[in-house]
Structures are given as C-alpha cells and as structure tokens.
Amino acid sequence: MAETKPDKPGFFSRLFGRKAEEAPAAPAPETPQAGGEPEAMPSPPATAADDLTAAPPSVTTASPDTPEEDKVPPELAGADLQPVEGLDPEGTNPQEPLPRIVTETGPELRPDISAADLLAPEPAPAEVVPAPEQQPAASRGWWQRLTDGMRRTSSSLSESVTGLFTKRKLDDATLEELEDALVQADLGVPTAMRITEAIASGRYNKEISPQEVKAILAGEVEKALQPVAQALSIDRSRKPFVVLMVGVNGAGKTTTIGKLSQKFREQGLKVMLAAGDTFRAAAIEQLKVWGERVGAPVLARAQGADAAGLAYDALQEAKANGTDVLLIDTAGRLQNKAGLMAELEKIVRVVKKFDPTAPHATLLVLDATVGQNAVSQVELFQKAAGVTGLIMTKLDGTARGGILVALAAKFGLPVHFIGVGEGVEDLEPFTARDFAKAIAGLDTAS
C-alpha cells in the first residue's frame, strides 16, 4: 500500500503559526486468537485535562516541509507577522485601503471618506481686504466734527421745515405748519413763533426757497443763543476755584470732568479731582482712571462714604497743595427724588462752611437725548444747587438738539461747552453762530 503524506498546511495556517494536524491512522482490527487468553481491556482514553500541552508560540515558524520559496526570510525571523492591509488572506484579490485620519490619539480609519478627498488640495485662504482707515477726529477740525455730530438734528429739521416751501407760496396754512414743525423740533414755542414771523415778514403770498428758509432759521437761532454763549472763566485769584458737577445718572458727568481736567491742564492749571459719587464704585474707579490719564490727583473714599465729608476733605487738601481748580463729582440724582436732592443741598452747605464763596461754579451736565425732560432738570437742580452754567453732551446721538435753544430762551443760563463725541477734542466751548448754522444744515462755518 502506498504511503500517505500528511496534508500540507495552507498559507493562512502558516501565516498564523498553526500546523496542520495529522489525522491518526485507524488501528487495524485484530482477529481474536482461538483458545487464547482473553485480551486485556484497553485503558480509557486520556482526557484533555490529562494531556495539556503548551500554547504554540506567537512567532511563526516555517514547516520543515514548506517549499524553499515559501519560507520566512532570515531578516524576518522572529517578527510578529500580521495580515497586510489591502490583501485578502485567503486569496489574491486586492482591496482598496481604507483612508486614515490622523487625530490626537493616532491614525483613525474613516470608511466614510475616500482617499481622493484626503488628497484634494486645501482651499486657498480668503483674501483679507483691509478696512478703510478712518480720519482721526482731531484732524477734521471742530466745525466738521460739529456738523457731523449734529447731522441727525439738522436732517430732521430740514426735512420737516424746508419741505413745506417746495413750490408753495407763504400763506396762513403754511406758516401754521412751519410753527408746528419748529415746536416739534424742541426749539420751544417762543423761538418757533419768532422764526415764523421772520420768515413771513415781507414774503407773505410769495414763494421762498429752502435755502432762504435755512438762512433765516440759522439767523434766528443765533439771536436766541448769543446771550448765553459764554466761556467758563476761571478766577485764578481764588485757590482753589471750586467747580461742582451735577446731573442725573447717565448724563456724562464723570467723563465730562475728565475732559475738562485735560483742558485745564493744557492751560497750565493745577487740577485736583474729588470722587464725590460714593454711591457707585464704578464712578470712583472711572474718575481715578481719568486722573491718571491727565496727571491730576484724585481724592476718593470707599463706596458708601459720606459725600459731603469727602468734599470738605478735598477742599482742605486742595488748599494745602496750592491747587488752582478743584472739580467735585456728585452722584447722579433724579430730579424728582426729593431725598437725593436734599443730599446735594447738604454738599453745597458743607462746601460753603470752608469757603463762603464756593462753589464758584455749579455746572449742570445735560444729555441732549432727553429732549423736553431737560427743562425740568434745570428747574430742580437750579433750586437745589444754584446752577450757574450748562454743558450739553451727546448731541451726536439725537435728533433733538434743538432743546438747547428752548433752554436758552427759558432760563438764560450760560452754556459753556457742548459735546459731540467721546474724545477729549469732542468737548468744545459753545459758540452760538456755529451751533446755529450746524442745526440749520448750512455747510459753511462762521
């Protein structure tokens, strides 16, 4: 009988270190011998527990019967060989390799992304277009900053007034509409009546151009404002010259104090600031920042300290240091709160105990955006603190700048400064002609 060779292990078995198991040959049946002794019973087969063998090593070893061309090369001897990606272990059909995404923890297989996507070039970064440079406010000049800041007021007034005279003759109905438009622009009834009479004078039942209306409007506004356009005069014989700053919350008192300090310093005056708004910690810090910026010392106390006592201490220190100007900030108070207004009166009384002539100037800071509400503010602050002058801020944020004309006609208080922006250069001394031309929408300065 021909000799049967053992089955040759396949490639997959050789790759993972498994040898083909040789099937045991079936024992030939034996014929019992007659008359002989009975044959001993065969021992029971060994169990798996009795025939434990060591696990095969993980290192692949070539079978002695492996053909020479299939044996592992010497340089790969002892290596832990693994299936090659892209090759079917049981066949030779190539497979497309899965794309890999490199992450923080290493390569990650992503079957949802093709290799073409990974090889695609990255899109070019978008071209950054630089923003146009804005012209610095200081280089534009005061007239341009004023007209730009009051653009909303002048546009609103021009549209409502000059539109009435387009291809129309002056008659009673037109003049009545004009007066209503001027009142709605917060110019006040007396000023509106005066402007209407000036336009009607000698032009009744005649046509008038919008440019003529603007010129008459500017002229009448200038007449109303000329008496109150007064610069703030610092009496250098009084040391310190005490300026008390009052106004409601949000009017811009603390910022205005900083801007005035800068202007006084530029005039060679020695300035000191007192953080009298002890109700708000933010106001105290804001004033300290302004003091550092302009080089002026700031006297401050903890939040909740007595404001009147702080004002008195500031006067003593300013007197000892030879300070020229002492600016005292106060807490913003609503004009309809009697208790808070009484606290302001206390500050004035304490200041007068140190110097009967102080405060030498009490400036009310008004927010132009409040419109007619500014009238009641002037009335009550003048009664509580003896307001001597006005500063109008935020004219660049409203179409109601005409309220300054109404205040001038009603109270006659000096208007020292107006503001049309956040910069120090945006707070300038008030001039009636420039303001009148800006509010009328004329393009030429005085």
Listing DSSP states for 264-324 in one string gives HHHTT--EEEE---TT-HHHHHHHHHHHHHHT--EE---TT--HHHHHHHHHHHHHHHT-S
Residue 237 dihedral angles phi and psi, to the nearest 5°: -75, -15
Would the pTM count as exceeding 0.85?
no
Residue 99 tokens read as 């794309």
Annotated binding-site residue? 252: yes
Neighbours of 141 (CB within 10 A): 12
Annotated binding-site residue? 434: no
Annotated binding-site residue? 329: yes
Annotated binding-site residue? 251: yes
Annotated binding-site residue? 331: yes
Annotated binding-site residue? 219: no
Neighbours of 371 (CB within 10 A): 16
Pairing of strands 298-299, 271-274: parallel
Annotated binding-site residue? 247: yes
Nearest Cα residue to 343 out of 305, 373, 295: 305
- Rounded to whole angstroms, the Cα distance separating 351 from 358 reads 6
Task: Name all domains of the chain by residue range, CATH numbers in brackets.
Answer: 141-227 (1.20.120.140), 230-430 (3.40.50.300)
Annotated binding-site residue? 401: no
Task: Indicate the residue type of 43.
Answer: S
pLDDT tens, per residue, the chain with 446 residues: 445 555 555 655 565 555 444 444 555 545 444 444 444 454 545 544 444 444 444 444 444 554 555 555 555 555 555 554 444 444 445 454 544 554 444 445 555 555 555 555 555 554 443 443 444 444 568 778 888 888 888 888 877 777 777 667 788 888 888 899 888 888 889 989 999 999 888 777 788 888 888 899 999 999 999 999 999 999 999 999 999 999 998 899 999 999 999 999 999 999 999 999 988 888 899 999 999 999 999 999 999 899 999 999 999 999 999 999 999 999 886 655 666 778 889 999 999 999 999 999 999 999 998 888 999 999 989 988 999 999 999 888 776 788 999 999 999 999 999 998 888 888 999 999 999 998 888 876 55
- Rounded to whole angstroms, the Cα distance separating 437 from 47 reads 116
> What is the distance in angstroms between the CA of the first residue and the CA of the last residue of the chain?
133
Annotated binding-site residue? 396: yes
Annotated binding-site residue? 393: yes
- Rounded to whole angstroms, the Cα distance separating 298 from 359 reads 18
Annotated binding-site residue? 17: no
| Cα Rg of the chain (Å, integer) | 49
Annotated binding-site residue? 394: yes
